[in-house]
Amino acid sequence: MLDTGTYTVKFMDGAKAEHAANTIATNMRTQCDTESNQFLLMKETIDHKLDGNAIKLADQFVCVNGRRSKQKTTKGWWSCIQWKGGTTTWEKLKDIKESNPIKDAEHAMANDIKKEPAFDCKGIRQEQWQQ
């Protein structure tokens, strides 16, 4: 709390600003509870896009050593996230799936893309997909 140094902070939109070390530390502390769990600042997934590297539904199965298996990858998928502060950013789907799988599943259901290889429901109970 006695650190008087300043740091250049680069924000997600590319903007840079000078902030005091105490301000940064206070901001980090206010985003955590007493058990150091970080608060989720994501409001919802509002859109998705593919960058050309995504596995297509027709190509989701591959043969490896004579065994047919399903590819489970989020490669090439991006999600447009609306944050609680009102801003939106495009994030890799893999990052969103890890941080908030329920919001990810809700978006997949609402947009009829739940059968795509990127939206494998592993880790989400089957009844959640059927709702």
Nearest to 97 by CA among 110, 85, 115, 81: 81
Among 25-29, 36-40, 52-56, 108-112, which stretch is predicted with the lowest mean pLDDT?
36-40
List pLDDT tens digits, range 3-18.
Answer: 678 888 787 667 787 8
Q: Are 4 and 20 in contact (CB under 8 A)?
A: yes
Residue 80 reports pLDDT greater than 90 = yes
